[in-house]
C-alpha cells in the first residue's frame, strides 16, 4: 500500500509563534504533495500544491508568506504556519500522489494535524 | 473548471438499512477514487475504479463507475454504525490532477 505520515498529530502554540508540520510518503516517492485545510464538518479545502524542487502553487486566497511550503525531497514536504493566530486553528491534512499504475496510483492522505493557536 | 458533485450531502439512517451515494460530473475522468474520513483523521482510500462500467465490491460496499466515466456510485448494504463518516469521491482527469467532491456525511444510528 501507500502510506503517508504527518507529524505532529496535534500541536498547541501561542499566538505569534510559528509551527512546522511535516508530511512524508513512507513507501513511495512523491514529486507532488498537497496541503489541505479542513474546518469542522466540512470537506477538504486545497491550500497549495507542493512540487519537489520547485515553488509551491497556492490556491486563490491562501497567503504564501503565511503558509510556507518546502518540498525538498521526494518523500518530504513541510508546511510552516508563520505568526500563527487563533483563526489559523484548524485540521491540516497533507496528501501525496503516487504516480504508479492502478491500482496503486492515486492520492493518499496523511492522518492530519490538529493545530490549536491560543 | 471541472466539478464533482455528490449527493446527498447529508444522510442519517438506521443500522441495517441500505444506502447509495452518488458522485456526478459533466467531465470525463481517467479514474475515480472513493475515500472515507472519520472525525479527526485523514481520508482513507477505499477503492479506485478505472474502467467505464466497472463494479468493485469491498465487503458490504459496492462501487460502480459510470459507462461514460463521468459518474460513480457507492452502495452500502446493511449499514453499520462503523460506516459513519465523510465519504469523498475524487476524479483523476487526463491532466493528472485530482478533483474532489464536497463529500457526503453519513451517520448510521444504532
How many other CB atoms are there within 10 angstroms of residue B110's CB atom? 7
Q: How many residues does chain A have?
A: 118
A105 touches chain B (CB under 8 A): yes
| pLDDT mean across residues, chain A | 90
Phi/psi at B73 (nearest 5 deg)? Answer: -135, 155
- pLDDT tens digits, residue range B83-101? 999 999 998 877 667 788 9
Cross-chain Cβ contact B42/A43 below 8 Å: no
Contact A102 B48 (CB under 8 A): yes
Q: What number of helices (H) and strands (E) belong to chain B?
A: 0, 11
Q: Quick check: A60 contacting B, CB < 8 Å?
A: no
Q: What is the dihedral of CA A66, A41, B85, A104, to 10 degrees?
A: -30
Residue A45 above 90 pLDDT? no
Quick: pLDDT tens for B25-48. Answer: 999 998 899 999 998 889 998 999
Amino acid at each position: 500500500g501507500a502510506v503517508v505520515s504527518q507529524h505532529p498529530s496535534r500541536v498547541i502554540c501561542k499566538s505569534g509563534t510559528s509551527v512546522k508540520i511535516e508530511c512524508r510518503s513512507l513507501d513511495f516517492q512523491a514529486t507532488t504533495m498537497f496541503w489541505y485545510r479542513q474546518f469542522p464538518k466540512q470537506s477538504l479545502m486545497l491550500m497549495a500544491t507542493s512540487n519537489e524542487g520547485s515553488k509551491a502553487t497556492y490556491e486563490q486566497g491562501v497567503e504564501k508568506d503565511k503558509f510556507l511550503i518546502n518540498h525538498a525531497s521526494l518523500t518530504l514536504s513541510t508546511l510552516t504556519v508563520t505568526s500563527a493566530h487563533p483563526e489559523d486553528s484548524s485540521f491540516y491534512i497533507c496528501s501525496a500522489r503516487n504516480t504508479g499504475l492502478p491500482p496503486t496510483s492515486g492520492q493518499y492522505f496523511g492522518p492530519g494535524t490538529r493545530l490549536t493557536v491560543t | 473548471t471541472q466539478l464533482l458533485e455528490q449527493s446527498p450531502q447529508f444522510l442519517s439512517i438506521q443500522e441495517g438499512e441500505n444506502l447509495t451515494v452518488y458522485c456526478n460530473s459533466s467531465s470525463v475522468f481517467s479514474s475515480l477514487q472513493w475515500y472515507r474520513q472519520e472525525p479527526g483523521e485523514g481520508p482513507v482510500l477505499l477503492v479506485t475504479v478505472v474502467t467505464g462500467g466497472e463494479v468493485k465490491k469491498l465487503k458490504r460496499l459496492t462501487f460502480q463507475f459510470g459507462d461514460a466515466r463521468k459518474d460513480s456510485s457507492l452502495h452500502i448494504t446493511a449499514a453499520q454504525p462503523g460506516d459513519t463518516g465523510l465519504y469523498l469521491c475524487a476524479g483523476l482527469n487526463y491532466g493528472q490532477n485530482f478533483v474532489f467532491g464536497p463529500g457526503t456525511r453519513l451517520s448510521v444510528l444504532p
